[in-house]
Amino acid sequence: MDNATIFAIGGIVLGLVIGFIIAKVLEKNKASKIIKEAQKNANLVIKEAKSEGENIKKDKILQAKEKFIELKAEHEKVILSRDKKMAEAEKRTRDKESQVSSELSKNKKLSQSLEDKIKDYNHRLDVLDKKQEELDRLHKSQVQQLEVISSLSAEEAKEQLVESLKGEAKNDAMAFIQNALEEAKLTAEQEAKKVIINTIQRIGTEEAVDNCVSVFNIESDDVKGRIIGREGRNIRAIEAATGVEIIVDDTPEAIILSCFDSVRREVARLSLHRLVTDGRIHPARIEEVVKKTRKQIDQEIIEVGKRTVIDLGIHNLNPELIKMVGRMKYRSSYGQNLLQHSREVAKLCGVMAAELGLNPKLAKRAGLLHDIGKVPDAEADMETPHAILGMQWAEKFGEKAEVCNAIGAHHDEIEMKSLLAPIIQVCDAISGARPGARRQVLDSYIQRLKDLEDIAFGFSGVKKAYAIQAGRELRVIVESEKVNDDKAADLSFNISQKIQTDMTYPGQVKVTVIRETRAVNIAK
């Protein structure tokens, strides 16, 4: 290798070394500049951070001061409120104390006054006792003196005086009665017969005994099947809703409705007429129609009562009494229609009162109302005699005392206080004594059926009770919430035992207890 090459290589190496040294020096200078700038920036950041920290510190101090002031103000308000409440409580306490002290002073004064009055009363009692003793002593001394003077004791003197007065009074009374009887016999019997005969001749009415069955006519026998329904559900629903036994037999174009209560029969007849006319016959529709028919019957009862009082010329009758008069259309007495009987009695009373010179309007009024006690609303009213119950209702609804007395006395339950009372009694007897007017057997039969239903109503949980099949069956409908299946069986047994012990009847009585539950919802 020659020297030039060596020198070239050495130059290159030396250049590289020098270049590396120069690069290091330049790099060091650049790093020092960067460090200085970084320190400068850091100082600026620190300065800004310090100034910002001071600002934040000042803000926080201000906020803390404001919060402290707010809390202090709230605390002062709470303290003021407590002080005010305490002051009010102290004031109320002072007022209570003053009031209690005043009450105590009043009570002391009252107690003292009461003690003074008691002492005065005791003193007066002592004085009165002494005076009474003095009077008794004086009375005894006077009686003794009189006994010495008359030579008789007080009891003997009384007996002699009473005996003398009795003898005189008896003689005077017998003489007066004898004269009155002799005078009355000459004219009274003849005049009475004349008045009664004239009255009966002027009042003529037709008599028709009420039956216990009604016949419902139908157009064809096909309707019978629709009334009976599938497996008899329709006819059972009608009987349960109305309490009437429906007899469907081979009689052409006719169905028999059997019930002792004429109101139930009329409700059943009108309901069947509506159902057959409408064509829709099912249990829900049956119940709806029966409810509407009952409302119609109630309205018809009021109309019948109004027409009756208008026909008889009776005015200013209470609406409740008018309703009772209308209900008499659906009641009977010994087979005689009660409304027809009352109308007849009213007319008889009016004529007889006019013949005797009395007020015919009052007589008609009493004659029409004399049997209103036979149409009671509640079961409890049935225990009161109908004459007394009618009198109580008449008094309640503002009728005159003469009318009330005539109603209550027409069966001699109370004393007759006016001439109107015997007129009502006589006219009632005349109306009932007409040939064919009454029938005892029917009335006793109806009473037996009512007694059957009353026995069922005497047990708790019974909603409805119907005596059907001429009293051979009693159907009892109970409330499902109060009577379960086991109690229903016990109830049937208890009712049958009660009927056996309390009633007399021919044959057997079947007691059927019906318990029905329903779940009804409406889709909207």
CATH number, residue 243: 3.30.1370.10
Tokens of 75: 């605390």
Same domain, yes or no, for 415 and 375? yes
| Residue that has been written with the tokens 């109004």 in this structure | 306
What single string gives the DSSP state of each residue in 188-222?
Answer: HHHHHHHHHHHHHHH------BPPSEEEEE-S-TH
- What single DSSP character describes residue 122? H
Does the residue 254 lie in any domain? yes
- Domain assignment present for residue 17? The answer is no
Supply φ then ψ for residue 229, to 5 degrees. Answer: 80, 175
Q: Tell me, what's the pLDDT at 188? A: 58
Q: What pLDDT score was predicted for residue 109?
A: 87
> Is residue 297 one of the residues assigned to a domain?
no
Strands 510-515 and 332-333, bridge-based pairing: unpaired
Place of tokens 């009353």: 454
Residues 348 and 404 reside in one and the same domain: yes
Judge whether 370 and 329 are in contact, CB under 8 Å: no
Considering all CA atoms of the chain, what is the largest pairwise distance in Å, rounded to the nearest integer? 210
For residues 467 and 449, membership in a common domain is answered with: yes
CA-atom Rg of the chain in angstroms: 55
Q: Are residues 322 and 393 in the same domain?
A: yes
Torsion angles phi and psi, residue 475, rounded to 5: -100, 125
Residue 409, domain CATH? 1.10.3210.10
The tally of CA atoms less than 13 A away on the side-chain side of residue 189 is 5
In 3-state terms the chain splits into helix, strand, coil percentages (rounded to 5) of 75, 5, 20
Nearest to 397 by CA among 325, 471, 341, 329: 325
Asked whether residue 344 is assigned to any structural domain, the reply reads yes
Number of domains present in the structure of the chain: 3
Nearest to 287 by CA among 474, 524, 516: 516
Q: Which of 288, 298, 292, 286 is nearest to 244 (CA)?
A: 286
Note the Cα 193 to chain centre separation in Å. Answer: 51
Structure tokens at 7: 């020198």
Q: Which residues pair with 245 in a beta bridge?
A: 258
Same domain, 337 and 412: yes
pLDDT score of 230? 80
Domain end (from 438, 454, 478): 438
**CA–CA gap between residue 383 and residue 40 (Å, rounded):** 122
Domain of 471: which CATH number?
3.30.300.30
Q: What is the pLDDT of residue 209?
A: 44
Residues 282 and 364 in one domain: no
Angstrom CA distances, 249 to 253, 411, 414, stand at: 10, 45, 51
With respect to residue 461, please indicate whether it lies within any of the assigned structural domains: yes
Interior/surface letters 266-279, b for 16+ CB within 10 angstroms, e for the rest = bbbbbbbebbbeee
Contacts of 151 (CB under 8 A, 6+ apart): none
Number of CB atoms found within 10 A of residue 230's CB: 8
Task: Round to whole Å and give the CA distance between 341 and 3.
Answer: 175
Q: Are residues 225 and 264 in the same domain?
A: yes
Same-domain status, 336 and 356: yes
Q: Which residue has the tokens 């620190």?
A: 46
- Which one of 273, 289, 305 terminates a domain? 289
- One digit per residue, pLDDT tens: the chain, 524 residues? 567 788 778 778 888 888 888 888 788 788 778 888 888 888 888 888 888 888 888 888 888 888 888 888 888 888 988 888 898 888 888 888 888 888 888 888 888 888 888 888 888 888 888 888 888 888 788 777 766 676 666 676 677 667 767 777 777 777 777 777 676 666 656 666 665 655 655 565 554 445 555 677 777 767 777 777 787 888 888 888 888 887 777 667 778 887 777 778 888 888 888 888 877 888 888 888 888 888 888 888 889 888 988 888 888 888 888 888 888 887 776 667 788 888 888 888 888 888 888 888 888 888 888 888 888 765 556 667 888 888 888 888 888 888 899 888 888 888 888 888 888 888 888 877 665 555 544 566 677 888 888 898 889 889 888 888 767 888 999 988 888 888 888 899 899 888 888 887 766 888 999 888 877 788 87
Q: Distance between CA atoms of 193 and 420, rounded to whole angstroms?
A: 18
Residue 473: closest CA among 505, 503, 440, 508: 508
Rounded to the nearest 5°, which phi and psi values hold at 180? -65, -40
Q: Both 236 and 323 in a single domain?
A: no
Q: Identify the domain boundary among 407, 438, 469.
A: 438
- What pLDDT is stored for residue 46 in this prediction? 86
Nearest to 334 by CA among 471, 444, 431: 444
Q: What range does the domain containing 221 cover?
A: 203-289
Nearest to 213 by CA among 281, 266, 280, 172: 266
Which helix or strand (DSSP H or E) is residue 422 part of?
A: helix 420-433
Neighbour-count burial of 306, counting CB atoms closer than 10 A to its CB (0-12 exposed, 13-18 middle, 19+ buried): middle
Cβ neighbour number for residue 333 with a 10 Å cutoff? 21
Distance between CA atoms of residues 317 and 301, nearest Å: 15
In a domain, 215, yes or no: yes
The verdict on residue 71 lying in a domain is: no
By CB neighbour count within 10 A (0-12 exposed, 13-18 middle, 19+ buried), where does 417 fall?
middle
| pLDDT of res. 208 | 46
Domain check: are 384 and 320 in the same one? yes
**Residues 433, 444: one domain?**
no
> Cα–Cα distance between 335 and 366 in angstroms, integer?
22
DSSP character at residue 411: T
pLDDT value of position 227:
79
CA–CA distance, 429 with 336 (Å, rounded to integer): 13
Write the DSSP string, 2-25. -HHHHHHHHHHHHHHHHHHHHHHH
Query: What is the enclosing helix (H) or strand (E) of 337?
Result: strand 336-337
Residues 500 and 428 in one domain: no
**Residue 23: inside a domain:** no
Nearby residues of 171 by Cβ (< 8 Å), 6 or more positions away? none
Asked if residues 363 and 317 have their Cβ atoms less than 8 Å apart, the reply is: no
